[in-house]
Amino acid sequence: MNKLSIYNTLTRKKEVFEPLNPPHVGLYVCGPTVYGDPHLGHARPAITFDLLFRYLKHLGYKVRYVRNITDVGHLENDADEGEDKIAKKARLEELEPMEVVQYYTDRYHAAMRRLNVLPPSIEPRASGHIIEQIELVKKILANGFAYERNGSIYFDVVKYNKQHSYGILSGRNIEEMIANTRELEGQDEKQNPFDFALWKKAAPEHIMRWLSPWGEGFPGWHLECSVMSTKYLGEPFDIHGGGMDLLFPHHECEIAQSVAANGKQAVRYWMHNNMITINGQKMGKSLGNFITLEELFNGKHALLEQAYSPMTIRFFILQAQYRSTLDFSNEALQAAEKGLSRLMAANRMLDRIKPADSSSVQVEQLKEKVYEALNDDLNSALAIAVLFDWVRLINLLAEDKESITANNLVELKTFFRTIIFDVLGMADEQTTGSKQAELTAKLIEMLLSMRLEAKQRKDFATSDRIRDELSKLGVIVRDRKDGFDWEIE
Ligand code: ZN
């Protein structure tokens, strides 16, 4: 089996993944800023890095996965001016900021559970690491890469860039940035408009504030990830992930902070998932195409023709490789829903296959092709395409048009299910949930097995009767070219 390669944003090429201390792998991913309901934009990074987490574990690594919760310091417009996103929500809702944080963290967790996203090993909060953040600011100040203005501390990008390279991750250069930066009012504290805040002095009305050597204030947004990643994963650590929207300035600033404090970078592989567009447009509140996960699940949004189940959303996201763009539309989601239902039907069909004396299918080939796809920078799109080739074969096997030995059948079932459920993290929504749902599904499956047997001995009266009786009970059975599927109305 070949090895896992991942595209490293820092070197701009695919590299064979070699962890620093195998079998241990340190993985850090930027989590949500918890001031609103989780939305479609949250789903892609969560599912991308859940796939990485699951696949690394499948390969035998012991993964420590850290995904943070941003609960302080993320200001409006992702810049150094304006209100803290959480404090603003707290003011509008007349709540304590930490009530806002708890409420939306719980909502985020609930949505992630429904999407079958595994919880990380550690989920640290920025507000729980203020002392460590102050220590990092002190180090950067002592090394001469930051300056104080009226109780705020700013990172000196120009000075840093003379000795190191600011823009190493994003490929931007300072001259270009100067040309493209407009002077904004209120930024006169900074020596240069693109310097960024490490610590901000709290205005009298600012609620979330901590005592520091520079007076009462709060940390800059980029600081928490530098601090929490290395606190729990050591320095350097293996993989840092996040959405492409965080590449600049957030991750660029993280690198600058680590180098300014310790003289070296903290991250070995940087991974970025591409964004989701909606009907070709960027998602935004002002565009009216902002869709929360709750709205997707219940279908209550003007842009939605129907509700889409959590597994449909997950499958839709996995059907694209994480670095490719992904356009969200009703048509695309309906296609994902159909595809998923075919895949789950094939999985249930596996139990109807009767072993033969010889095999006309190559299970080894299935395994090779799936691993080849996943090892190629987590190409889940290609891995799923390979599984679909097997959906057709599984149906032929169930109809005795292809053959498989008992040993190969066990291997096929184990591998197919391991990839679908453990690695891709899918669930069969028709058969899981309550005990009753599971029993109902098993009874329907039993009747459909009998129907298949009837068809095979050309007893069409019995096979039609089973279909019609099920239909009366609200179970729709659909015959397809490559087998059949069922659904409760
Ligand atoms: Zn971050």
Q: Which residues of the chain have pLDDT under 50?
A: none
Distance from Cα 243 to the centre of ligand 1, integer Å: 10
- Residue 29 CA to ligand 1 center (angstroms) comes to 7
pLDDT of 131? 97
**How far, in Å, from the CA of 250 to the mean position of ligand 1?**
6
Query: Would you tell me how many other CB atoms lie within 10 Å of the CB of residue 364?
Result: 11
CA of 380 to the centre of ligand 1 (A): 25
Please state which CATH number belongs to domain 20-273: 3.40.50.620
Beta bridge partners of residue 487, listed in sequence order: 476
pLDDT of residue 440: 86
283 alpha carbon – ligand 1 mean position (Å): 20
Q: 361 CA to middle of ligand 1, Å?
A: 47
Q: Which CATH number fits domain 278-423: 3.90.79.10, 3.50.50.60, 3.40.640.10, 1.20.120.640?
A: 1.20.120.640
| 203 Cα–ligand 1 center, Å | 25
pLDDT of residue 156: 96
178 C-alpha to ligand 1 centroid (Å): 24
Q: What stretch of H or E contains 178?
A: helix 174-180
**The pairing of beta strand 13-16 with beta strand 196-201:** unpaired
Q: Evaluate the omega torsion of the peptide bond into residue 38 and state whether it is cis, within 30 degrees of 0.
A: no
Residue with tokens 């659904």: 487
Q: How far is the CA of 68 from the centre of ligand 1 (A)?
A: 8
**How far apart are alpha carbons 32 and 229 in whole angstroms?**
15
pLDDT tens sequence across 61-94: 999 999 999 998 788 767 777 888 888 888 888 8
- What does the DSSP 8-state code read for residue 73? S
List Cα–Cα distances, 154 to 48, 126, 415, in angstroms. 33, 19, 53
Measured in angstroms, how far is the CA atom of residue 293 from the centroid of ligand 1?
22
Model pTM?
0.90
> Cα(225) to centroid of ligand 1, in Å?
5
Distance from the CA of 251 to the center of ligand 1, in angstroms? 7
DSSP, residue by residue, 363-412: HHHHHHHHHHHHHBT--HHHHHHHHHHHHHHHHHHHTTSS---HHHHHHH
Question: Which SS3 state, helix, strand or coil, does residue 214 take?
Answer: coil
What is the per-residue pLDDT for 180? 72
Question: Measured in angstroms, how far is the CA atom of residue 185 from the centroid of ligand 1?
Answer: 27
Residue 218 alpha carbon to ligand 1 centre in Å: 16
Both tokens assigned to 468: 């019609």
pLDDT for the residue 314: 98
**What is the whole-number distance in angstroms between the Cα of residue 304 and the centre of ligand 1?**
31
Place of tokens 């803290």: 84
pLDDT of residue 258: 97
Residue 33 CA, ligand 1 centroid: distance in Å = 10
User: What is the whole-number distance in angstroms between the Cα of residue 180 and the centre of ligand 1?
Assistant: 24
Q: Would the CA dihedral through 190, 193, 197, 198 be positive or negative?
A: negative
Confirm if 51 and 380 have CB atoms less than 8 A apart.
Answer: yes
CA of 420 to the centre of ligand 1 (A): 30
Give the pLDDT of residue 184. Answer: 55
Tally the residues of the chain.
489
If you measure from the C-alpha of residue 207 to the centroid of ligand 1, how many angstroms do you get, rounded to a whole number? 22
pLDDT recorded at residue 219: 95
DSSP character at residue 417: H
Are 231 and 133 in contact, with CB atoms under 8 Å apart? no
- For residue 31, the CA-to-ligand 1 centroid distance in Å is 7
Nearest Cα residue to 233 out of 63, 15, 61, 51: 63
CA of 461 to the centre of ligand 1 (A): 63
Residues 6+ away with beta carbon under 8 Å from 407: none
Residues in CB range of 211: below 8 A, 6 or more apart: none
Report how far ligand 1's centroid is from the alpha carbon of 252 (Å). 10
Q: Residue 23: CB partners within 8 Å, gap ≥ 6?
A: 60, 61, 62
Q: How far is the CA of 171 from the centre of ligand 1 (A)?
A: 19
14 CA distance to ligand 1 middle (Å)? 23
| Ligand 1: centre distance to CA 302 (Å) | 32
